[in-house]
């Protein structure tokens, strides 16, 4: 089996995880910029983080012959301080040319505030200006439904946004339909407690089909499983998915979306 891990925070993982991903059939890992678990004290902290994502992490992955890609932004949680967020955003353009940068992400909302929304809109403008793909984080738990709707309107209010170039991540049963119906891609995140289990993810695929959908582990510093995607493959086999179906969903689908960025070069 081969697959793409389209959302993993490898800076928070040990090197053994790279080895395990490769042994499970992973052919590329993509790492969105996110919240470190604590607020950074200065924009310079983000400069160092962007260096880590564009220079150090790809080297660490390369030791296992695993292509490493990334996405850049200031995460929605720290976007609550718009002055700080704008200083960080000024650093982004100089990194966009790096050969492993796929686009702007994971932008979005955390607590659905006005400040977060303003910075989300500015990130959308930045992506449009630089012709970048967008990866969107939707809020957690009780905030997800409202946040997903606010995000959809922010994207739809920008006339230059092409929905096929945007993936809205962390969808669940109550948000997946609205995202797909609006023409965007949707990501299913496999988390033991707070997002989807392999069983529920398989249900979503049975109900909504697999067009414009991908699955990821979003593994980070919290309870999460870097091998969540191959675990989903086990569940899908039990549901009667063929090896061809698995390859199409877990490998070809992420490639279809990511190849819209010419830097994503994973051979079929």
Residues that bind other proteins in the complex, under the rule CB under 8 A = 80, 110-117, 139-146, 149-150, 172-174, 194, 199-200, 203, 238-242
| Nearest residue (CB) to other proteins, 20 versus 40 | 40
| Nearest residue (CB) to other proteins, 100 versus 110 | 110
Q: Is the peptide bond before 235 cis (omega within 30 degrees of 0)?
A: no
| Nearest residue (CB) to other proteins, 37 versus 93 | 37
Nearest partner of 134 among 155, 148, 115, judged by Cα: 155
| Nearest residue (CB) to other proteins, 121 versus 164 | 121
The answer for residues whose C-beta is within 8 angstroms of residue 75's C-beta and 6 or more apart is: 33, 34, 35, 106, 107, 110, 137
| Least gap, CB of 232 to other proteins (angstroms) | 15
69 part of the interface to Zn ion, by CB under 5 A: no
- Report the partner that residue 112 touches, choosing among other proteins, Zn ion, none (CB closer than 5 to 8 A by kind): other proteins
Structure tokens at 148: 């997903």
Given a contact cutoff of 8 angstroms between Cβ atoms, the answer to whether 192 and 201 are in contact is no
Q: Crossing angle, helix 198-208 and helix 228-238, to 10 degrees? A: 60
109 part of the interface to Zn ion, by CB under 5 A: no
| Least gap, CB of 239 to other proteins (angstroms) | 5
Nearest partner of 214 among 252, 163, 241, judged by Cα: 252
DSSP state of 26: E
- Report the partner that residue 117 touches, choosing among other proteins, Zn ion, none (CB closer than 5 to 8 A by kind): other proteins
| Nearest residue (CB) to other proteins, 56 versus 221 | 221
- Report the partner that residue 238 touches, choosing among other proteins, Zn ion, none (CB closer than 5 to 8 A by kind): other proteins
| Nearest residue (CB) to other proteins, 23 versus 238 | 238
List the strands of the sheet with 26-32, edge to edge.
3-5, 26-32, 68-72, 101-108, 133-137, 166-169, 185-189, 213-216
Q: Crossing angle, helix 114-129 and helix 144-156, to 10 degrees? A: 40
Structure tokens at 94: 């100089």
| Least gap, CB of 147 to other proteins (angstroms) | 9
Residue numbers 207-246 binding Zn ion by CB under 5 A? 218
| Nearest residue (CB) to other proteins, 48 versus 211 | 211
34 part of the interface to Zn ion, by CB under 5 A: yes
46 part of the interface to Zn ion, by CB under 5 A: no
- Report the partner that residue 34 touches, choosing among Zn ion, other proteins, none (CB closer than 5 to 8 A by kind): Zn ion
- φ, ψ of residue 50 in degrees (nearest 5): -65, -35
- Cα distance from N-terminal residue to C-terminal residue, the chain: 13
- Report the partner that residue 27 touches, choosing among other proteins, Zn ion, none (CB closer than 5 to 8 A by kind): none
Q: Which residues bind Zn ion (CB under 5 A)?
A: 34, 218
């Amino acid at each position: 089996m081969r697959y793409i891990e389209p959302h993993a925070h490898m800076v928070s993982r040990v090197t053994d995880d790279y080895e395990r991903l490769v042994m499970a059939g992973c052919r590329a890992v993509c790492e969105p910029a996110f919240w470190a678990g604590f607020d950074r004290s200065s924009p310079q902290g983000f400069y160092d983080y962007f260096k880590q994502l564009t220079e150090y992490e790809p080297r660490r992955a390369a030791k296992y012959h695993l292509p490493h890609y990334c996405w850049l932004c200031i995460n929605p949680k720290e976007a609550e301080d718009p002055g700080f967020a704008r200083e960080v955003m000024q650093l982004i353009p100089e990194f966009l040319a790096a050969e492993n940068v796929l686009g702007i992400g994971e932008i979005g909302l955390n607590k659905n505030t006005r400040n977060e929304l303003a910075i989300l809109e500015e990130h959308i403008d930045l992506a449009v200006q630089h012709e970048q793909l967008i990866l969107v984080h939707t809020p957690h738990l009780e905030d997800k439904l409202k946040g997903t709707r606010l995000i959809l309107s922010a994207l739809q209010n920008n006339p230059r946004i092409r929905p096929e170039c945007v993936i809205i991540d962390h969808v669940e049963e109550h948000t997946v339909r609205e995202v797909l119906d609006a023409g965007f891609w949707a990501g299913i995140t496999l988390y033991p407690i707070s997002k989807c289990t392999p069983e529920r993810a398989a249900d979503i695929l049975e109900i909504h089909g697999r067009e414009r959908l991908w699955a990821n582990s979003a593994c980070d510093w919290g309870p999460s499983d870097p091998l969540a995607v191959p675990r989903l493959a086990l569940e899908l086999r039990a549901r009667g998915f063929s090896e061809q179906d698995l390859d199409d969903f877990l490998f070809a689908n992420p490639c279809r979306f990511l190849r819209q960025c010419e830097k994503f070069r994973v051979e079929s």
